[in-house]
Chains A and B, each alone.
Chain A
């Protein structure tokens, strides 16, 4: 199993839709998880941190399932500006460095 694995995408959804991405991780000892957003040709930026069972911030909800070792990101009422690549990030390895998933590309269509 890859250390961090994400839905392959791409996801093309209409404005106003609800979309969910999943991410699985292999390191059962991981305590914290992150979702980053990366716009085209820009640097990744932190979207949400997840330290317990989940986190909610406006239209964005992240959920953690430790038993199944996956985290999800739910986006409600999608906006055009939500179009980006969403990266799942999990500390892993002996040095607990951040390991990035390959990302899921989202395009919100008018």
Chain B
């Protein structure tokens, strides 16, 4: 059983659709992250939230919009995506930002058609 839960596990969406990815952590952590993992590429950090405040936006296109209503929940809103956005999107949390290990959810495998 994982302390970080992501839904949905799989998502297929058209380029004109709007969808949201959800992440919830039950570990009492203060920092939450969105990562993108494309085939044969290292994990790419997208966004960092620390105590609900966004502290990092790693030059992510505006078609990805994060939301962090509280320290336990993190969303990634998607709209007008491109096929190259197809990837595994991983949510993670850690006690604090930096220097502490992160715990990952199982990811959402996104396919944009």
Contact = CB atoms under 8 A, between A and B. Distances in A.
Interface of A: 31-32, 34, 41-46, 49, 87, 91, 93, 95-103
A97 B98 contact: yes
Nearest to A42: B106
B104 A102 contact: no
A91 B56 contact: no
Given A95-B48, A95-B98, A43 B55 contact: no
Contacts, number: 53
A34 B101 contact: yes
Contacts of B110: none
Given A97-B97, A98-B98, A101-B42, 17 more contacts: A31-B99, A32-B99, A32-B100, A41-B88, A41-B109, A43-B2, A43-B104, A44-B90, A95-B48, A95-B55, A97-B33, A97-B48, A98-B33, A98-B45, A99-B45, A100-B35, A102-B42
Given A97-B33, A102-B41, A43 B99 contact: no
Nearest to B98: A96
A93 to B, nearest CB: 8
B87 interface: no
Nearest to B105: A43
Interface of B: 2, 33, 35, 41-43, 45, 48, 55-56, 88, 90, 94, 97-107, 109
Contact of A44 (B2, B48, B98, B104): B104
Nearest to B41: A102
Contacts of B109: 41
B98 A43 contact: no
B98 A46 contact: no
B51 to A, nearest CB: 13
Residue with the greatest number of chain A CB neighbours at <10 A, chosen from B2, B90, B100, B109: B100
Contacts of A103: 42
